[in-house]
Amino acid sequence: MGNINEVRNAVVKSLQESINSQEITVIKLEQVDDTWNAVAEVYEDDSFLKAMNLPPKKKRVLYSVLLDKNIEVKSFERLGAS
């Protein structure tokens, strides 16, 4: 089982690869038994503005990430934008 810094780095790396964003901050990290639950704040391009060929603007989106005891990402879910 890894330490909290290894888990945080794994969350960031996985989201960078999955959603192609470099602006990621882990805002919650919790160990429950043999799993880790994380919530990350991600800044993504607004897809509506992009589709309308308007100037890009970043929007804040939260993602939930579940990792196992080996620090492997088992799932991630978009929680919503704000």
Its CATH architecture, for the domain 4-81, is Roll (3.10)
What is residue 82's predicted lDDT score, i.e. its pLDDT? 62
Q: Could you tell me if 45 and 33 are in contact, meaning their C-beta atoms sit under 8 angstroms apart?
A: no
∠ CA 22-66-50, rounded to 5°: 35
Could you give the 3-state DSSP secondary structure of residue 11? helix
Burial string for 18-45 (b: 16+ CB within 10 Å, else e) reads eeebeebebeebeeeeeebebbbebebe
How far apart CA 32 and CA 42 sit, in angstroms, is: 23
User: What does the domain layout of the chain look like in residue ranges?
Assistant: 4-81
Output the tens digit of pLDDT for each of the chain's 82 residues: 568 999 999 999 999 998 878 899 999 999 999 899 999 999 988 778 878 888 878 889 999 999 999 999 999 999 976 6
